[in-house]
Structure 1
Amino acid sequence: MTNDKKVWGNLISIVIPIKDEEPNILPLADEIEEVFSDVKWNWECLWVDDGSVDGSVQVLRKLSNDRPRHRVISFAANAGQSAALWCGCRAAKGDIIATLDGDGQNDPHDIPKLVALVASGKCDMANGYRQNRKDNWVRRISSRIANGFRNAMTGKTVRDVGCSTRAFRKECVPYFLPFKGMHRFIPTLAMIYGFTIAEVPVNHRPRTRGKTKYSIWNRLWVGIFDTFGILWIRKRAFRVKLREDK
């Protein structure tokens, strides 16, 4: 388990995938800086641009140049949210990694309590679940169906696997397998490979800028299809622990 005293002096990485979120970037960056001005951790924010075609790349590059805690990875073409999270987590320098969506609906003020829970050694991953979701009824229903099917097939993991507000030890990252749709199964993969998970209620906000990229077609049916692959992994996965010499 993570040593609490060690973590306070080490780095916390916040990973944020971005796809055409130009109006949300600077307000979210300002919020993150406000939140972390009140905590004692060192931190960085790693923005992963997933082939945006609006002005997101230009905003991110200026942000990175003006504020050195912010780093940017930019894809030449759209590769998907899973690819953005996978690359961002692997490039993160922190001992604990936190994730947020780039649309402003996740509240950065929830990150410190999730990080603190992981840092305390009580769990390897702290996964948020959204209270009073602000999405429309199509997104809520499709998410509920997909989440229920996922848990029924792969074994119960968390109540809201679609929530991107989470924190976890960097040791979890090698077990996030690189496939499209991976972002929907991060808690499931962590549990399959023996990591412990805690669930924490988090705030959820309405989208006030930009347009959603999700519909029932790319949220419900794709998630259900991917579940069969995760079921195979669950049955075939192994994790080796070396014997400690005394």
Structure 2
Amino acid sequence: MSFEHIAIVMPAYNEADGIAGFLQEIVEHVTPLCTRVDIIVADDRSTDATAAVVAQLGIDGVEVQTQAANRGHGPTALAAYRAGLATGASLIVHVDGDGQFAGADIARIVAVSREQRAEVVHGVRRGREDPWYRRVLSAGLRLLVRPFAGRGIPDINTPLRAYQPAALETLVDAVGPDALVPHVHFSLAEARSRMRVRYIAVRSLPRRGAESTGTMWGATGQPVLPPRRLRTFARDALVELWRLSLRPSAPMRAMSEPVRRGA
């Protein structure tokens, strides 16, 4: 399997300090692997100059799409996926704009997708330096969903993943446009429907830019306790997980291998 055209989709919020170098690194490593690369940055109404920095790079195939409103990571990632599908690319790669992956590892994800004919490839993060409460949250989530997935999923919410278009379109259509944690739903559905998924260990890097922890949770530095915004998000995400993926009549549970393969 070869990929003539790859689309890389990237949700971003307040990443002006580090996104230019990250995009240049991706272009350097991925461009040799195909004829055409499109990189679509879905800017979630950043309050800094993220959109302007991307627009001024002048790199062929790099485009910024500013969202109509600030909606958070999940809906912005889904908008980015839809934009990637609209390009007609033969592979869609998702990565967050905070630059916590190496360009060489993104190229490895593409290579594995090609060589192993995988419908989905996850980059499983190694060496994460997250606060204790985020590690506890991730571990608890893995334990919670394992009985529903039928097997372990090593990094259920990883933001580095590559999809063949048919598999991605099925997942995006099933989850809807507003999911808070689409990658968790995707990972569960991939396991249940027996998609050809490969898990590849990749390095987790510090966030690029001047502010090492970002602004997603309304706190700067490394707070000792979970910020209030994160606690609220975790509660809402669990409710959504039950509603969309875990309860017996959940929409994402309706996915099956015969339906997905068009049999």
Q: Output the TM-score relative to the length of structure 1.
A: 0.85
Preserved CA contact (<8 Å) 1:124 1:197: yes
1:236 aligns with 2:236: no
Structure 2: gaps spanning 5 or more residues: 218-226
**Residues of 2 paired with 1:242 and 1:150: CA distance?**
27
**More off after superposition, 177-186 vs 49-58:** 177-186
**For residue 179 of structure 2, what is the amino acid of its counterpart?**
K
Shift of 1:242: 4.6
Percent identity between the aligned chains? 21
Distance 1:173 1:142, change over 3 A: same
Shift of 1:218: 4.9
Mapping for residues 179-194 of structure 1, pairs under 5 Å: 179-181=178-180, 182-194=182-194
Preserved CA contact (<8 Å) 1:16 1:100: yes
Distance 1:241 1:169, change over 3 A: closer
Preserved CA contact (<8 Å) 2:12 2:96: yes
Task: Determine the structure 2 residue equivalent to 1:126.
Answer: 121
Preserved CA contact (<8 Å) 2:14 2:215: no
**For residue 150 of structure 1, what is the amino acid of its counterpart?**
V
SS of 2:92's partner is strand
Mapping for residues 138-153 of structure 1, pairs under 5 Å: 138-153=133-148
Cα deviation per residue 1:97-148 (whole Å; 9 max; x = unaligned)? Answer: 1111111112222122212222235321011111111222222221221232
Mapping for residues 102-113 of structure 1, pairs under 5 Å: 102-113=97-108
**Residues of 2 paired with 1:241 and 1:31: CA distance?**
35
Root-mean-square deviation (Å): 2.2
**Residues of 2 paired with 1:89 and 1:235: CA distance?**
21
Cα deviation per residue 1:122-177 (whole Å; 9 max; x = unaligned)? Answer: 32101111111122222222122123212334433521012111111011222222
Aligned length: 235
**Residues of 1 paired with 2:190 and 2:239: CA distance?**
20
Distance 1:185 1:118, change over 3 A: same
Q: Output the TM-score relative to the length of structure 2.
A: 0.80
Preserved CA contact (<8 Å) 2:150 2:191: no
